[in-house]
Structure 1
Amino acid sequence: MDPIAAENFKNFQLDVAALPNYEAVQLEPISRKYLIKLQVGTGVSLLFLVVGFAVGYYFVPEEFKNYLIGAIVLMLALFLWTFFNNIMYVKRSGYALREQDIIFKRGFLFEKTTVVPFNRIQHVSVERSFLDKVLNIATLKIFTAGGSGSDINIPGIKPGIAGTLKEEISERIFRHA
């Protein structure tokens, strides 16, 4: 290491208690319409499973029908849990844009909060599936350096707000470059 650089090197310890608390930020909720999208996907999966079990029940030998009924009850319990989990996911998800970063919090049992500083963001996109267009929602996708996919997907945002967020983040990326 260069002696002058080594002489100028400083690495002070930070006071952890003085750091900004991301948990104190007021998050914007995602749209309740996203819950409809989740429930439709879960319902379609359930429908296919019920049809499959009904066909299976017709063709399975008599001695295995009790096992099939047990599997059906287990699957219905799993789907009820999934419907409930979808409700809680949408209820507890939110995002916030701050001066230096964007925050996205999601999850119910396993809560996850992602904070991405603008100087790490490579690009931003807005996506809308067919169902998103019907429900008038969009997904904001944020990509950072080194990732193979998007690092944050914020679903259930009104398309106008998603476009505004995309433009604001793009401007902030440009300023930090």
Structure 2
Amino acid sequence: MSLNDPIPQEQWIPTQHTLYTPVAAEYLKLVALTTLLLGLIPVSIALAMMMLVMALALPWLLTGGLLLTLLLALWVYLRHLGARRLGYMVREQDMVVRRGIFWQRHTCLPLSRLQHVTLSQGPLDRFYGLSTLRGFTAGSPHAEITLPGLPSDQAEQLRQHLMAKAGFRHEP
């Protein structure tokens, strides 16, 4: 078989109908909290501006406030739903991350091309005991896979597993 020949269908490894490991429940809380807090600032500013512009015209203020509140609630819900649909699986040859609400995206990281894996934590991640795993591949500066919302101990275990599968040895 040459490089230009397609892989026979019986050798395909499906990603859409397999079980993905979800991210931590704490990540769902973190996404909801940060989205709500970041959304309250513009909503508060918009309401204050509406009060100034409308000179306390109550019906317009209530309608605008209700609309902004509904938009904020929708934004929080969609971000939470996106975090709930985030998942990953590690197979023999690769790691796959699934994300997306309306358009599902399955990103495969071939372990044979893995260069290095990093873990990162922001202050809120540390508070919730979470980490973000990033795997970088050879060939492109933009070839990476990002997986937020992992419990820190699980993220370290996954990092060690991926590096071992990629052929890197840990020297004490």
Q: TM-score range by the shorter chain?
A: 0.7 to 0.9
Q: Which residue of 2 is the match for residue 31 of structure 1? A: 24
Q: Who wins on radius of gyration, i.e. which is larger?
A: 1
Q: Which residue of 2 is the match for residue 4 of structure 1? A: none
One-letter amino acid of the counterpart of residue 77, structure 2: F
Please list every run of 5 or more consecutive structure 1 residues that lacks an aligned counterpart in the other structure: 1-8
Please list every run of 5 or more consecutive structure 2 residues that lacks an aligned counterpart in the other structure: none
3-state SS in 2 of match to 1:55: helix
User: Relative to structure 1, is the Cα distance of residues 14 and 143 closer, same or farther in structure 2, using a 3 angstrom cutoff?
Assistant: closer
3-state SS in 1 of match to 2:166: helix
Whole-angstrom distance in 1 between the partners of 2:121 and 2:151: 10
Worse-superposed segment, 113-122 or 158-167: 113-122
Q: Which residue of 2 is the match for residue 81 of structure 1? A: 74
- Equivalent of 2:112 in 119, 129, 132: 119
3-state SS in 2 of match to 1:109: coil
Whole-angstrom distance in 2 between the partners of 1:157 and 1:147: 25
Percent identity, please: 23
- Give the C-alpha shift of residue 58 in structure 1: 3.5
Task: Confirm or deny that 1:14 pairs with 2:7.
Answer: yes
The correspondence of residues 36-55 of structure 1 with structure 2, limited to 5 A, is: 36-55=29-48
Whole-angstrom distance in 2 between the partners of 1:104 and 1:112: 8
- Give the C-alpha shift of residue 150 in structure 1: 6.3
Whole-angstrom distance in 2 between the partners of 1:10 and 1:58: 65
Compute the RMSD of aligned alpha carbons.
2.6
The one-character-per-residue Cα deviations of 1:46-100 (angstroms, maximum 9, x if unpaired) are 2212321232134225499877765544432322212211232232221111111
- Give the C-alpha shift of residue 103 in structure 1: 0.8
Whole-angstrom distance in 2 between the partners of 1:150 and 1:165: 19
Greater helix fraction, Structure 1 or Structure 2: 1
Whole-angstrom distance in 2 between the partners of 1:132 and 1:167: 20
The one-character-per-residue Cα deviations of 1:32-58 (angstroms, maximum 9, x if unpaired) are 111111112111122212321232134
Task: Confirm or deny that 1:163 pairs with 2:163.
Answer: no
The one-character-per-residue Cα deviations of 1:84-130 (angstroms, maximum 9, x if unpaired) are 11232232221111111001111211211111101222211011111
Whole-angstrom distance in 2 between the partners of 1:152 and 1:64: 50
Output the TM-score relative to the length of structure 1. 0.79
Whole-angstrom distance in 2 between the partners of 1:84 and 1:90: 10
The one-character-per-residue Cα deviations of 1:8-34 (angstroms, maximum 9, x if unpaired) are x78544322441222343211101111
